[in-house]
Amino acid sequence: MKADLAMAIHFHQPVGNFDFVMERASDQCYIPFIETLKKYPSIKMTFHFTGCLLEWVEKKRPELIDAVRDLVSSGQVEVMSGGFYEPILPPIPYRDRLAQIRMLSSYVRKNFGYEPKGAWVAERVWEPAMPSLFDEAGIKYVILDDTHFLYAGVTKDRTYGHYMTEDSARSVAVFPSDKVLRYHIPFKMPPEAMSYMQAVLRDNPNATFIYGDDGEKFGEWPGTHKWVFEERWLEKFFDEVMANAGWLNTATLSECLQKKPPLGRVYLPTSSYEEMLEWSLPAESQLHYEEVLKEVRAMGKEEYYRPFMRGGFWRNFFSKYPESNHMNKKMVYVSGRLDELKKSGKVKSSEIVEAEKDLLRGQCNCAYWHGVFGGLYLFHLRR
């Protein structure tokens, strides 16, 4: 039996970003990635595009949408749903969470001719009640980091496949994205990723390898366009996958869901990726946490203690930054007023649709937090 490699690539630019940034990302990253993939029709993967990016692409780079539609039509690619404007879902009103997901699902159906089965979780911010939301929105699976599973007590050797989780008996499948592969792709030579997977297969011959990460790593991050495209890292990686086709198969996440049963049931704690949890801590606690990490690393025990070490809670950005809290609460207030107007029947439906779109745009996560990637300090995103 062949092992499966399921790659999920997430493409995103925030609401309000500069045109020149969107143009550079499209021309140096997104379009070259898709054009390269088209040369390898036997390699399958899963894409996620945020609505903020799609709205811009539709006007400025419509050929990108055409190319993805062709890949979907041929069965090479599936497209995921998620929040249309990439909100962190838990701190926005429930009605807006549903509206965000349904809006992107509808867009995928209309523009790519595909019924999305999965959803990308913005910044992998997870809270235990989320399965109910995804079930109501018609979502069958989500992808998180393997770190979430380690925090739940799942050992690393049990993260090569999907699990089921539920809230109030409403369930969704969860795939753990492999940290080792995220650090290998696209930063190490392709044979190293193959060697890693082969080593895992010696003890776990039925493994499914799951990779989920930002598409911007393939050309938009500093220095990566030269490495990935000019020096042909991506082609070399795809060539390596093809050369190992005797034991390695590529698949979409939906195919993995159908092919293999879940590894079990899991209940994941409130979490996000490791760095985000660190950034959400108050400044003094963050410094303390960094010192503890240094001590553990000096002992050579980082991997041993890592499942039991984590930082804070994403919502604490609202206490760390009053500006973030103010924007969030203003957004919640506007959402409530808009809901009252919709129910009153006193406003034209066309005006309601425009107002709701503006509200949902204002929920894009990037301006509500700050870390290496967050944009709270960027006025053009906050506005």
Distance of CA 217 to CAs 109, 136, 154, 225, 341, Å? Answer: 27, 32, 28, 9, 43
How far is the C-alpha of 136 from the C-alpha of 271, rounded, in Å?
22
Length of the chain in residues, anyone?
A: 383
How far is the C-alpha of 286 from the C-alpha of 280, rounded, in Å?
8
Annotated active-site residue in 214, 240, 302, 323? 214
Neighbours of 230 (CB within 10 A): 10
Eight-state DSSP code of residue 306:
G
Q: Which helix (H) or strand (E) holds 69?
A: helix 62-73
Maximum CA extent, the chain: 67
Element counts in the chain: helices (H) and strands (E) = 19, 10
Burial 157-186 (b: 16+ CB within 10 A, else e): ebbbbbbbbebeeebbbbbbbbbbbbebbb
Q: Is 123 a catalytic residue?
A: yes
Annotated active-site residue in 4, 86, 123, 356? 123
* CA neighbor of 207 nearest in space, from 173, 144, 162: 162
Burial 35-48 (b: 16+ CB within 10 A, else e): ebbeebeebbbbbb
How far is the C-alpha of 81 from the C-alpha of 213, rounded, in Å?
15
> By the 8 A CB rule, do 174 and 287 touch?
no
* CA neighbor of 328 nearest in space, from 374, 354, 359, 355: 359
Q: What are the catalytic residues?
A: 123, 214
